[in-house]
Amino acid sequence: MTTQTHAILNTALLSRQYKPFLHSYACVGAVLPDLPIFLFFAIETFILNTPQREIWDSRYFMEAWQAFFDIFNAVPLILILLGIAYYLLQSERLTVLAWSMLIHCAFDFLTHHDDGHHHFFPISDFIFESPISYWDRDHHAEIVGPIERLVMLAASIYLFPRLKFRLARWSLVILNVLFLGSYVLRYLLR
Ligand SMILES: [Zn+2]
């Protein structure tokens, strides 16, 4: 799934009415697994000046980069983090963050066909090939795409009144306008 859907959906799922301070931890946990991809893109594009084609056709698949991505998407490592947060530190904030990372991994497990991560890094090389993909039209993206956007919209409507800061509310609206708007525009201009 796209990063913005992860962020909004996880924050909605982990939201508790009287603990609005947890929203930011749920949001950070939802974004963390995708963070290494953004760093990879920034380093390759702006520091190494690698052409865009090469970035996605070959650099992306380099073992070192793949391991870097896997670390943030590894269920065993996230479970260790969850254990430390819950039992050792007894930190509600960090526990919510770890849960959010796990939920991200669960949704990615279901929505990546041939571009999934090593879910059980470093224990196993297994990668699940889901029959559906959120972006690949060869694997039902024309159905999954609109569903993802509707899920994001529903999560946003649920979350909006629970957000306490104006900046968070505005971010929610802007993300929806951009993500849904671009999709509708692309559909109309086809
Ligand atoms: Zn992801």
Domain that holds residue 73: 3-188
| Residue 108 CA to ligand 1 centre (angstroms) | 5
| Residue 154 CA to ligand 1 centre (angstroms) | 20
Residue range 47-75: mean pLDDT, rounded: 94
pLDDT tens, position by position, 75-121: 999 999 999 999 999 999 999 999 999 999 999 999 999 888 999 99
| Residue 145 CA to ligand 1 centre (angstroms) | 15
Q: Tell whether omega for the bond before 161 is within 30 degrees of 0, i.e. cis.
A: no
Cβ atoms < 10 Å from Cβ of 183:
14
Position 183 confidence tier, pLDDT thresholds 50, 70, 90: confident
Please state whether the predicted TM-score (pTM) of the whole model is above 0.85: yes
Query: How many domains in the chain?
Result: 1
| Residue 122 CA to ligand 1 centre (angstroms) | 17
Q: At what angle do helices 3-14 and 141-159 cross, to 10 degrees?
A: 40
| Residue 16 CA to ligand 1 centre (angstroms) | 24
